[in-house]
A and B are shown apart, each in its own frame.
Chain A
């Protein structure tokens, strides 16, 4: 679906100064895949996305979507795109903005009103539809941005910081929507600083820093749990039994312990032993997700 081949982007100023925003970036994104893009500020995520939309041209290498140069693909098919900065004319009404963009997206006239109503309902914007864009709160503006990205059932969705400004209820709702959008015909790219979100939603995460692809982490369902090695266990009773089941357990106060295990099987066996000895377990939480671990390593290595 998407193929980056040695893509590089260098910004040059009129004075001759240059900044390499992306360097030798190669990655293939498959149809039906949900790919996360993670990286610290200034890592090159926005430049990559701008190149995917054809808003910037690579200085080196090639970038193709379905075998077409990126801009040619967008002009032919369109992309469901949510930008980090929701730039919609503040004077437009929310529902008018959606109707306009639905028209540009090629939705037939007879379907525009219906489709606008559908996405407004899907994103819970009913009571805000008649408001001017400038009157929307940050969260509602974000939902409007997401609504316009969902107007047409695009085969490619690019969501840049999609839950930025959303409250916890709508963050969860967004995750449900992405779950519903998952389809063998649709590719979804999500750029986010929120590693927990990427962990939950994506199949793989590309970690970039200093414009370079540092590593690609597989994050598919259950993968993180299987690879996590450090957990925090909270006990209500039987604190004194902890060391018998987990010899290396480190007390962290108030019945909480940090433990390191070799595998999920070992964790379960030790927990069973602990419970068998009469301890009451309140919670078991991975101390750091595999993705977070990998992110720290990748970003650390590149610096």
Chain B
């Protein structure tokens, strides 16, 4: 007989491989397609010379769209797929705790997303010129923690997280647009919604200056991690077959 306990840390390599084959390729295709369609006009003959400042602005706008789609794709099905398809049956008959397994998976997916970002950014640098990839990676990490954290929680409670997550994100944006300037309880209630409005400001600041308001960053990170924690609580309390 073997000693109790599985080897979950070692399994991270398999999780990363799954990310690469099941999601990574899609991310690269989407990133390259959207990227080159947007960037091509700037490389046509007769286009003005691109300054680093201009490149940063263009990439910042582009990153907003690409990274949002990437995070949606990355967290989609992170927990619910195993439930839907029944894969959990063999996985968790092994000496493994689901909260550790999925907590690790969430981190591995972040690593996968950053790897995809590094590849696409490298190609963009070759195509349009240098920009600060680290700032972009920092923004991607913040977006993943924020939206990916909510996605993790949603995936723990429902099998249809993509429409739910899109609804939350879109709903938050719409409600902020409608009631953002109100005073009173409506405005305060908006603070409970995902910090989509802060994300844009932080993105611009990070991309152009490499810095961002610490309070806002803490709010974004805290909000996302709170939902990761809630997702883990759901995993702990709700049996996988339920």
Contacts and interface: CB of A to CB of B under 8 A. Distances in A.
Interface of A: 50, 53-57, 71, 74-81, 83, 85, 87-89, 91, 100-101, 103-109, 145, 148-149, 152-153, 155, 158, 185
Contacts of B1: 153, 155, 185
A78 B240 contact: no
B4 A88 contact: no
Nearest to B87: A87
A105 B94 contact: yes
B47 to A, nearest CB: 43
A54 B89 contact: no
B87 A77 contact: no
A268 to B, nearest CB: 45
21 contacts: A53-B93, A54-B239, A55-B88, A55-B89, A55-B241, A57-B242, A71-B239, A77-B95, A79-B93, A87-B90, A89-B87, A103-B11, A104-B95, A106-B3, A106-B6, A107-B7, A109-B10, A145-B90, A152-B2, A153-B2, A185-B1
Interface residues of B, number: 31
Interface of B: 1-8, 10-11, 14, 18, 21-22, 85-97, 239-242
Q: Which 8 A-B pairs have the closest CB atoms?
A: A55-B241, A87-B86, A81-B93, A78-B95, A104-B94, A106-B6, A83-B89, A105-B94
A158 B6 CA distance: 19
B18, B85, B93, B241 — which one has the most chain A CB atoms within 10 A of its CB?
A: B93
Contacts of A75: 95-97
A85 B241 CA distance: 14
Contact of B10 (A76, A103, A152, A155): A103
Given A71-B239, A78-B95, A145-B90, 6 more contacts: A83-B89, A87-B90, A88-B90, A104-B8, A105-B2, A105-B6
Contacts of A152: 2
A302 B202 CA distance: 67
A103 B14 contact: yes
B91 A76 contact: no
A159 B7 CA distance: 24
A85 B5 contact: no
Interface of chain B, main secondary structure:
loop
Contacts of A155: 1
A100 B14 contact: yes
A145 B89 CA distance: 11
A113 B58 CA distance: 49
A11 to B, nearest CB: 9
B201 to A, nearest CB: 40
A200 to B, nearest CB: 25
A105 B88 contact: no
A57 B87 contact: no
A105 B95 contact: yes
A76 B95 contact: yes
Contacts of B18: 89
Nearest to A79: B93
B86 A106 contact: no
Contacts of B22: 91
Contacts of A57: 239, 242
A238 to B, nearest CB: 56
A101 B101 CA distance: 13
Contact of B4 (A50, A55, A106): A106
Contacts of B21: 91
A270 B6 CA distance: 60
Contact of A78 (B10, B88, B94, B239): B94
A155 B95 CA distance: 12
A182 B175 CA distance: 64
B89 A85 contact: yes
A56 B93 contact: no
A147 to B, nearest CB: 11
A149 B89 CA distance: 11
A88 B14 CA distance: 14
A231 to B, nearest CB: 42
A100 B1 CA distance: 19
Nearest to A72: B97
A104 B7 contact: yes
B158 to A, nearest CB: 13
A213 to B, nearest CB: 21
Nearest to B10: A103
A150 to B, nearest CB: 12
A153 B92 CA distance: 16
B95 A101 contact: no
A79 B21 CA distance: 29
B94 A101 contact: yes
A112 to B, nearest CB: 9
Contacts of B242: 55-57
B4 A76 contact: yes
A103 B7 contact: yes
A57 B8 CA distance: 24
